[in-house]
């Protein structure tokens, strides 16, 4: 069902269209000089579906999120005679929306920007909230801006061509929203495997809709990452640690991080009975549980360097029950101690 939400924050407002077709892009561009930024794979699969406009296509993959690539894009924009009044539409996964958002926010100190997310992760997470950025060598998202795109157009039909692995990876963020914000998402997912979710259009539309609403709610409450927005890091602190050590999809790393956060929540006597088991059933059925035995000491070393650290403590997002989080400052030693005799 077509729906429109709005997201308001100090760094601008976005109109977010759900289940919307690409023909809407013409009216949204409103006669402005417009360039479509996309990656080679999305362009090959879906390029013809977009209205006629200039296209800049970048190589697919995380390496494109760099200052070097941003410089090449600024030069392309000059060549296309783009100015502040022009519009950049970034259509792709989180790499394209992050890079496109950064370039549009900085080119001539800011030009028009719209997103068409084409991965599940970008639809429910990366394209929403206004955080854009590029990596600096091995440092992820080190240079960036916070600025809301004018619009985000979500057309779930893009997901039909998304590789299964990428789809499953995106589902981890959906489970996260179920745990931190909207318990109904967990009920919708329980008992379903990834293929059932992918093939059930109504179910898919509903979990995207609920995830989008969850992200809007958190971002509107707190845009600068200092307070409420930190709950979006649920599963990510430990997840990022093991992502650096194991060859895992982002989704599986986050899923493992959520398992750790749930185990810690239980250990500290916060978590309602049965929640962890339910979450584990869902993650298992969605093939999100990685088969790894991480070297906990090395994970803790990486976590200790986390940029979200305050003094010697890490603000760990824990759970009381689905929809109710608690941020608990813990030292790496405390985390390691609590995890020692868990059944992870
Ligand atoms: N800004 C934020 O708030 C935020 C939040 C989460 C993640 N991110 C960023 O998002 C990035 C990851 O995003 P991602 O997982 O979407 O990865 P991605 O953009 O690399 O896309 C994954 C792969 O899927 C392909 N693809 C995209 N859409 C497709 C489609 N419809 N059909 C077939 N193939 C398709 C891409 O070409 C690419 O090869 C990371 O850089 C991460 O830092 C940003």
Task: Answer yes or no: is the C-beta of 118 below 6 A from any ligand 1 atom.
Answer: yes
Q: Please give the span between the terminal C-alpha atoms of the chain, in angstroms, as a whole number.
A: 40
Residue-wise pLDDT for 141-197, tens only, equals 999 999 999 999 999 999 999 999 999 999 999 999 999 999 999 999 999 999 999
Residue 294 has pLDDT above 80, yes or no: yes
What angle is formed at CA 162 by the lines to CA 158 and CA 167, rounded to 5 degrees?
A: 110
pTM: 0.96
Highest mean pLDDT among 226-230, 281-285, 292-296: 281-285
CB of 71 within 6 A of ligand 1: the answer is no
Edge to edge, the sheet with strand 313-321 lists 309-310, 313-321, 324-330
Work out the pLDDT band at 223, boundaries 50, 70, 90.
low
Listing DSSP states for 49-93 in one string gives: GSPS-EEEEE-SSGGGSBHHHHHHHHHHHHHTT--TT-EEEEEES
Nearest ligand 1 atom to alpha carbon 158: 31
Say what the pLDDT of residue 229 is. Answer: 86
Please tell me the predicted confidence (pLDDT) of residue 22: 97
Identify the band that residue 48 occupies on the pLDDT scale cut at 50, 70 and 90. Answer: very high
> Residue 52, class by beta-carbon neighbours within 10 Å (0-12 exposed, 13-18 middle, 19+ buried)?
exposed
The domain locations on the chain are 3-161, 164-339
**Residue-level pLDDT at 27:** 97
pLDDT averaged over every residue in the chain: 94
Pairing of strands 87-92, 112-117: parallel
Q: How far is the C-alpha of 200 from the C-alpha of 111, rounded, in Å?
A: 38
C-alpha–C-alpha distance, residues 158 and 1, integer Å: 16
- Which ligand 1 atom is the nearest neighbour of the CA of 159? 31
pLDDT band at 47 (very low <50, low <70, confident <90, very high): very high
- pLDDT of 310 over the 90 cut: no
14 Cβ inside 6 Å of ligand 1:
no
Q: Residue 85 pLDDT more than 60?
A: yes
pLDDT of residue 224: 57
CA gap 244, 294 in Å, rounded: 11
Predicted confidence band at 225 (pLDDT cuts at 50, 70, 90)? low
What pLDDT, on the 0 to 100 scale, is given for residue 320? 98
Percent above pLDDT 90 for the chain: 82
Q: Residue 308 pLDDT more than 80?
A: no
Give the 3-state secondary structure percentages of the chain, helix then strand then coil, rounded to 5: 50, 20, 30
Q: Among the atoms of ligand 1, which is closest to the Cα of residue 170?
A: 15
Out of 91, 120, 122, mutate this one to test ligand 1's pocket (max ligand atoms within 8 Å of CB): namely 122
Position 244 scores a pLDDT of 84
Fold of 164-339: Dehydroquinate synthase-like, alpha domain (1.20.1090)
Q: 228 or 35: which carries more pLDDT confidence?
A: 35
**Ligand 1 pocket residue status of 233, Cβ below 6 Å:** no
Q: Are strands 12-18 and 151-154 parallel, antiparallel or unpaired?
A: parallel
Q: What are phi and psi of 224, to 5 degrees?
A: -100, 20
Alpha helices by DSSP H, 222-268: 236-245, 250-267
Question: What CATH code would you report for 3-161?
Answer: 3.40.50.1970
What residues pair up with 144 in beta bridges, in sequence order? 133
pLDDT at 251 over 90: yes
Please report the pLDDT score of residue 343 as a whole number. Answer: 78
Is the C-beta atom of 112 inside 6 A of ligand 1? no
Average pLDDT over residues 331-336: 87
Q: Which atom of ligand 1 is nearest to the CA of 128?
A: 3
- C-alpha 316/C-alpha 201 separation (Å) is 35
Best mutation site among 140, 154, 166 for ligand 1 pocket (most ligand atoms within 8 Å of CB): 166
**Do 3-161 and 164-339 show the same overall fold?**
no
State how far the Cα of 178 lies from the Cα of 207, in Å rounded to an integer: 9
Classified as helix, coil or strand, 6 is strand
Q: Looking at residues 243-266, what average pLDDT do you find? A: 94
82 φ, ψ to 5°? -80, 145
pLDDT (0 to 100) of residue 301: 86
The predicted structure's pLDDT at residue 309: 66
Q: Where is average pLDDT lowest: 189-198, 217-226, 229-238? A: 217-226
């Amino acid at each position: 069902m077509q729906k429109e939400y709005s997201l308001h924050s100090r760094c601008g407002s976005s109109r977010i269209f759900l289940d919307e077709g690409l023909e809407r892009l013409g009216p949204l561009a409103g006669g402005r000089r417009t360039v479509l930024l996309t990656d080679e794979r999305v362009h090959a699969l879906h390029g013809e579906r977009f209205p006629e406009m200039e296209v800049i296509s970048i190589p697919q993959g995380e390496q494109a999120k760099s200052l070097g690539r941003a410089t090449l894009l600024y030069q392309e924009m000059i060549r296309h005679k783009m100015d502040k009044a022009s519009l950049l539409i970034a259509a792709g996964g989180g790499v394209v929306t992050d890079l496109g958002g950064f370039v549009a926010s900085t080119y001539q100190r800011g030009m028009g920007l719209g997103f068409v997310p084409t991965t599940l992760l970008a639809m429910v997470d990366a394209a929403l909230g206004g955080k854009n950025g590029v990596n600096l060598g091995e440092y992820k998202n080190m240079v960036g801006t916070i600025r809301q795109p004018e619009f985000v157009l979500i057309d779930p039909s893009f997901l039909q061509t998304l590789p299964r692995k990428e789809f499953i990876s995106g589902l981890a963020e959906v489970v996260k929203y179920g745990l931190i914000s909207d318990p109904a998402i967990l009920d919708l997912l329980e008992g379903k495997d990834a293929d059932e979710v992918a093939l059930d259009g109504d179910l898919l539309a509903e979990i995207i809709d609920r995830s989008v609403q969850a992200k809007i709610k958190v971002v509107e409450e707190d845009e600068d990452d200092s307070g409420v927005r930190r709950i979006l890091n649920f599963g990510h602190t430990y997840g990022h640690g093991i992502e650096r050590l194991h060859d895992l999809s982002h989704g599986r790393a986050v899923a493992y991080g959520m398992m750790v956060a749930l185990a810690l929540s239980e250990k500290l006597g916060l978590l309602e009975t049965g929640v962890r088991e339910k979450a584990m059933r869902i993650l298992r059925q969605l093939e999100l549980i990685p088969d790894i035995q991480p070297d906990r000491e090395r994970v803790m070393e990486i976590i200790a360097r986390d940029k979200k650290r305050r003094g010697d403590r890490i603000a760990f997002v824990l759970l009381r029950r689905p929809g109710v989080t608690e941020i608990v400052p813990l030292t790496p030693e405390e985390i390691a101690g609590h995890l020692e005799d868990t059944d992870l």
